[in-house]
Structure formats: C-alpha cells, structure tokens
Amino acid sequence: MGKKVVIIGAVALGPKVACRLRRLDPSAEIILLDRDNLISYGGCGIPYYVGGDINDIEDLQKTTAHVLRDQAFFADYKGIRVLTRVEAREIRRREKRVRICHLETGREEFLDYDKLVLATGARAVRPPFPGADLPRVLTVSDLHDAETIKKLMATGKIGKAAVIGAGAIGLEITEALTDLWGVTTTLIEMEDQVLPTLLGKCIARVAAKELEKHGVSLLLETKVMAIAEDGDTGRLTVHTSRTTFDVDIVVLAAGVRPNTELAREADLALGMSGAISVDRRLRTSDPDIYAGGDCIEVRNLVSGENTPMALGSLANRQGRIIATNISGGQSHFKGTVGTFCLKLFDFAISKAGLTYRQARETGFDPVYAVVSQVDHAHFYPSSEMLYIALVADRKSRKILGIEAAGKNGDAVKARVDTVAVLLRHGLDVDEVCSLETGYAPPFASAMDVINNAGNALDNILAGSNRPVDAADFLYEFARKTTRVLDIRGEKEAEPYKEKYGARWLNIPQNQLRRRITEIPADEPLFLLCDTGPRSYEAQVFLASQGLTNTRNIQGGLAMIKVTEPEFVS
C-alpha cells in the first residue's frame, strides 16, 4: 500500500486534489470525506440553477461526460474512497490521525494519514441582527440552500424578496430571482456602491444602473437593523437604517468566513485575516498538512497583502498544486491577482488587481483612466460597447488593476484576463499600450480598446490628458459649477442644448480652429465627445491655444449613458 492521504472537504479543491493525486500516484490510498451527502459540485453554478438556466441540480454534479460524481463514481472511475455525511472532529497531529464522526449514526473512529489536506471551505456569514436566523432568511452556500430557494420560488407564492449584500453572490442571486421568477427584489448594501471590494466607482455605477434597469431596488449605504416574521402569514418585515418594508423571503449574501475551527484547534497557524496560513507549496505550519481553497489566505500579488479569496478557479488551481507536492513534485502557488467575472443581466463585469480606492489604501499613488470603445472593428456590423477602467501607480507606472463591463461577456473577460497576466508579473502601462492582441475586424479593432485604455492612461500620466470621470462630471454638472463644451456635430448636440440651455456649448471639432475665440478664456469647461478620444484631442488643441482650464470627460457620452441614463433622455 502506498501513502495514505486524507482529504477533508469534497466540493471543489478536495476532489481536485484526490483525482490528480490518483493520476500521479496509483498506489496512494486516498480518502475524501465530507459532512454533506452532496459532493463535488459546481457551487458557482447555484445562482444559475436557482435562475433556471440550469434545470436539473444534478447537472452541477456531473462530469463533462454526464456522469454523476457520487461515491460510486469516485470508486469506480478514480479508485478513490469517499465518505459522505462524515465530519472531521479533531486532528491529532502527533499521532497523524483524524477523529471523524459518521453523522447518520454518531459513530466515531480514527483515520490515519501520511498527508492530510484541509479543504474545509467557507460558510456564509449571518450578521448579528435580530431575525438573521429566521427560517425564510436563507443563504446560498450549498446545494441544499439552492434546492430550498428554488422550491420556495416554484410555489408561486414569492412575490417580493430582499437580498442583503451587493457582492458577487448577492448580485447573481438578485438576477436569478428577478429574471426568471419575476420577484420584486430589493438589494441592500452597507457600502456606497455595489461590489465594493471588487470595483471602483465608475464600473460599479454601470452595474448599479443595470440592476435598476431590470427593476431591482438598490439601497446603498443602508444597514439592516432587524428582520421580523409575521407569525400568521410568514411574511418578513425588513427594518433598515433607511426604510422598512415587507418581503416573502430574504437572502443573506453578506460574505463568507473561512472554516478554520479544525485547523485552529490543531494549533495550525492562522493569518491576520483569520484564515489558514500556507506557504507557496500550500503547506500549513505542519508540513504534513496541506490546505487550499476558501479556508486559506493567499497573497495578493499586487498589494502584497494576504487575504482569503473565495474563488472556485483558485481552488482548482491550488488542488492541482497540492497533489503535485504530495506526490513528491515541486509546484508553487505564488499568489493571486483576484481575476473575477460576473454575469449581471445583459452585462458582464470583470476585474483583476486593485481598485483605485484599494490601491490608495495599500499605499500606492494611483491614477486611473476610463475608456469606452466597441469590442470589434467599428465598421464591422456586430459590435458591442466595452467600458474599461485601468489603474496604475503614478511613479512606477506599474499597472495596479483593471475593471471592465459590457454586453459581450467573452470580450469583456478577455481584456481583463490579458491584463491579469501583466498584473501578475508587475508590468507597467507601456505593456498595456503594446499588448499584442489578435486583430481581425470581426473580433477587434486594430487599436483594441485595451490598448487605448493603456494609451489614455499613458496620456494622463504624461499630463496631456486632464480627465474627469463620468460620475464626477455628473456630480459637478448637477451642482452647476461648470459648463460643457460639446465638440460633436450640431445635430448630435441639439437635444442637449435644448435641455441644458446656456450650460451646453457646442462647437463641432472641425470648427474649433476657426471658432476658438468663441470659447471663454478662463472658464472651466468639461469637454465632451462620443467616447472620449476626440475630446482629448480637443483638449490638447485648446491647451496649445492657451485654454488650459478644461477637463475631458472620460469615456464620453457612452460612459455617461451607462452611468446615469436619465442625463441623456
């Protein structure tokens, strides 16, 4: 018999370790155990099961060849022993054994190990307000939760819902409830924007507007104080810091917390974040115990800080590394840049690295550019607008983060995935300008939007592009401090001149040279065009004529339209 490997947790990382290890070491004895009876499933698919894109919950548990990944599958296909409804209760490190409990019978026993893997994951946080544990206050942590919500929906009696937390899962479940089930959903978030740990304010505004466009009520900077249940009807009353309203269910999506009890009780080192500490080989402070997935903290390669990062993509990559190392190989997990993507109704949202705010908090001196440009050649019939925010450090010019949104999800993600490589390797803005992405009119522009994001940031760093983002513009314009100089054609500008009167100047770009004297010399002006490059060009020209008090609206009218649709109509 080969070495004995016990793996605690059988959702994502656990099965990955087990299967890869089996391929590397046919003689190893591999035991995979889980508290649950449902194992090895695509947890990130839960919102799509709730939302009806995926009909059968077993689809989340099947291989690409449509085989259900149950105990028999692991035994017959993989030669891996799986124990379900079994809880690990204690790690005895000196004896190298784990005390487990068979939950159905209460029987306890010990499993010896040569190597132990902790894949204990994370669980949904239940905030400490009264009513957080009511039966209709649900979480979306596992397949059982998914079944519960979907069954409730299928009764046809759920008309209103509240989702607490506008992180990724909160947004995905909001879409699922709203889109398929037609539930009137209120999304509640403590911070001043959606996806607060993931996006800067510009792309977050795009996401917020997409939610509102689909009828979601968004309550930002709002705290839930209590939830009360009507004993007769089962209806819930949600009391928040702003308002009180009734709903049929509440979904809690207020983040997750690493499951570290086993590790802590075994005196394994935990990090500042409270998650399990691991080295680059993904070993805990005990070299015979590995850990990965949602229960560990990982190094953010941009900020240098260690944090938990609950991403299924990382769990799988880490699983492969752990298996390689257990079987005697050398494989390292160097850290993460947190690449992430999300479908939100008709939009896709993606990011990697740090937001502007996170970069500042980390100690950088960040600068950002926002651009809008179609994904394919503008003369090619099928193209969709992409909105990109790019953050760099002023002094080192190192790229710190990227965020993107747009309707063509594959195209949105593509730009972020590419820049994620630059982030991982600490490269600078010039590398974004010169990114060599494939060009053919059906798929890209000769100067792709991602190159132009780099170019815009390069121009901002050089001081020739003096920008204002759409959100700041909207705020300042509403306060009536500054006028707009619209350099688009007269016809395009007409409705805005009507709406905003003398606050909306219009000189088409091709008339700027001869009408320069019409522009008030000292007055601050916002320069506007369709997507931003022409207003930048105008800014440079005006500066050459001594008119330097201008700011160029980043991403132009296209960005304003997705930031504040009412501005336009």
Instruction: Identify residues 354-373 at the interface with a second copy (CB under 8 A).
Output: 373
**Minimal distance, residue 395 CB to a second copy, in Å:** 17
The residue within the footprint of a second copy, chosen from 85, 223, 424, 466 (CB under 8 A), is 424
Give the SS3 label for residue 23: helix
**Minimal distance, residue 263 CB to a second copy, in Å:** 24
Q: Which helix (H) or strand (E) holds 417?
A: helix 409-424
The one segment of 119-127, 177-185, 247-255, 422-430 that binds a second copy by CB under 8 A: 422-430
Is position 494 an interface residue for a second copy (rule: CB under 8 A)?
Answer: no
C-alpha span between 461 and 211 (Å, rounded): 33
C-alpha span between 228 and 154 (Å, rounded): 24
- Is residue 552 within 8 Å of 539, Cβ to Cβ? yes
The one segment of 145-153, 237-245, 445-453, 466-474 that binds a second copy by CB under 8 A: 445-453
The one segment of 150-158, 178-186, 275-283, 306-314 that binds a second copy by CB under 8 A: 306-314
- Give the contact letters, 541-560, x = binds to a second copy (CB under 8 A), - = no: x-xx----------------
C-alpha span between 33 and 414 (Å, rounded): 37
The residue within the footprint of a second copy, chosen from 27, 105, 155, 569 (CB under 8 A), is 27
The residue within the footprint of a second copy, chosen from 166, 251, 354, 444 (CB under 8 A), is 444
Q: Which is nearer to a second copy, 77 or 245 (CB)?
A: 77
The residue within the footprint of a second copy, chosen from 113, 364, 473, 536 (CB under 8 A), is 536
The residue within the footprint of a second copy, chosen from 237, 316, 362, 482 (CB under 8 A), is 316
Residues 452-491 that bind a second copy (CB under 8 A): 455, 464, 488-489
**Minimal distance, residue 98 CB to a second copy, in Å:** 27
**Minimal distance, residue 142 CB to a second copy, in Å:** 16
Compute how many other C-beta atoms are within 10 angstroms of the C-beta atom of residue 108: 12
Q: Which residue is it, tokens 């209460």?
A: 106
Q: Which is nearer to a second copy, 220 or 543 (CB)?
A: 543
C-alpha span between 351 and 203 (Å, rounded): 10
Q: What is the distance between the terminal CA atoms of the chain, rounded to a whole angstrom?
A: 73
The residue within the footprint of a second copy, chosen from 95, 108, 410, 490 (CB under 8 A), is 410
**Minimal distance, residue 271 CB to a second copy, in Å:** 20
Q: Which is nearer to a second copy, 222 or 459 (CB)?
A: 459
Is position 510 an interface residue for a second copy (rule: CB under 8 A)?
Answer: yes
Closest CA to 503 of 491, 492, 493, 515: 493
The residue within the footprint of a second copy, chosen from 71, 141, 350, 358 (CB under 8 A), is 350
The one segment of 217-225, 242-250, 348-356, 518-526 that binds a second copy by CB under 8 A: 348-356
- Is residue 89 within 8 Å of 99, Cβ to Cβ? yes
* Residue 79, φ and ψ in degrees, nearest 5: 65, 40
Distance of CA 293 to the CA centre of its chain: 16
Q: CA–CA distance from 472 to each of 150, 199, 205, 567 (Å)?
A: 41, 16, 11, 13
The residue within the footprint of a second copy, chosen from 15, 35, 48, 552 (CB under 8 A), is 48
- Is residue 344 within 8 Å of 175, Cβ to Cβ? yes
C-alpha span between 318 and 117 (Å, rounded): 11
Is position 230 an interface residue for a second copy (rule: CB under 8 A)?
Answer: no
Is position 328 an interface residue for a second copy (rule: CB under 8 A)?
Answer: no
The residue within the footprint of a second copy, chosen from 181, 333, 356, 387 (CB under 8 A), is 333
Closest CA to 202 of 357, 311, 344: 357
Is position 411 an interface residue for a second copy (rule: CB under 8 A)?
Answer: yes
The residue within the footprint of a second copy, chosen from 529, 553, 560, 562 (CB under 8 A), is 529
The two three-digit tokens of residue 386, written as one number: 């992409």
Residues 181-210 that bind a second copy (CB under 8 A): none
Residues 246-275 that bind a second copy (CB under 8 A): none
**Which stretches of 16-151 are assigned E, i.e. beta strand?**
29-34, 81-84, 86-92, 97-102, 108-112, 115-118, 122-124, 137-138
Residues 76-95 that bind a second copy (CB under 8 A): 76-79
The one segment of 73-81, 217-225, 247-255, 259-267 that binds a second copy by CB under 8 A: 73-81
Q: Which residue is it, tokens 């490190």?
A: 93
C-alpha span between 156 and 180 (Å, rounded): 12
**Minimal distance, residue 95 CB to a second copy, in Å:** 30
C-alpha span between 472 and 520 (Å, rounded): 22
Is position 312 an interface residue for a second copy (rule: CB under 8 A)?
Answer: yes
- Give the contact letters, 286-305, x = binds to a second copy (CB under 8 A), - = no: --------------------
The residue within the footprint of a second copy, chosen from 342, 370, 405, 553 (CB under 8 A), is 342
**Minimal distance, residue 400 CB to a second copy, in Å:** 15
Q: What is the CA radius of gyration of the chain?
A: 27
The residue within the footprint of a second copy, chosen from 190, 337, 405, 559 (CB under 8 A), is 337
DSSP 302-316: TT--EEE---HHHHH
Are β-strands 467-468 and 550-553 bridged in parallel, bridged antiparallel, or unpaired? parallel
**Helices 168-179, 201-213: crossing angle, 10 deg rounding:** 20
Is position 513 an interface residue for a second copy (rule: CB under 8 A)?
Answer: yes
Residues 378-407 that bind a second copy (CB under 8 A): 378-381
How many residues bind a second copy, per CB under 8 A?
Answer: 107
Q: Which letter does DSSP use for residue 255 in this model?
A: -
Give the SS3 label for residue 159: coil
The two three-digit tokens of residue 159, written as one number: 């008309």
